[in-house]
Amino acid sequence: MAVFAVNYLPITVKQIEINIAGFVGITESIQTAIFNAIEAELATVRPFVSSIDILADKNDIFDVNKIIALILEANPGSTFGTVTLEVDTVPVSTFQFLNGDIPHLDAITYV
């Protein structure tokens, strides 16, 4: 009979805040569509575990370019200025979720 050590590691929720500057013609329905699109994408972002995950399914990076693509997908033809991404209040242009980091969309601010 063998004895195995099983280690359970906790998750760490990373708060995501997005700022979109200079959005032209923003309405509540557009805001809702953008929020839902980004929230749905973040629900698929998870840390990659090389021993059990398939490399082709790797989805552990979130960045400003993906946010811009999601905005344009949610509302084609959108006109806006800069997009900034903050993870746990730290501005970043790209973030890789590692070791139990799980994203949570806290807020999208239109300035």
**Res. 2: pLDDT tops 80:** no
Dihedral of alpha carbons 87, 46, 62, 24, sign: negative
6-49 residue pLDDT tens: 767 688 999 999 999 999 999 999 999 999 999 999 999 988 77
Q: What is the reported pTM?
A: 0.86
**Per-residue confidence (pLDDT) for residue 1, from 0 to 100:** 63
What residues form DSSP beta bridges with 46? Answer: none
Q: Which residues, 6 or more positions from 15, have their beta carbon under 8 angstroms from its beta carbon?
A: 87, 88, 89, 104, 106
Task: Tell which wins on pLDDT, 52 or 27.
Answer: 27
**Per-residue confidence (pLDDT) for residue 95, from 0 to 100:** 96
DSSP states along 1-50: -----------EEEEEEEEE-S-TT--HHHHHHHHHHHHHHHTT-----T
Question: Stretch 51-56: mean pLDDT, rounded?
Answer: 76
Output the CA–CA distances (angstroms, integers) from residue 51 to 14, 43, 58, 70, 72, in the order listed.
Answer: 23, 22, 12, 30, 35
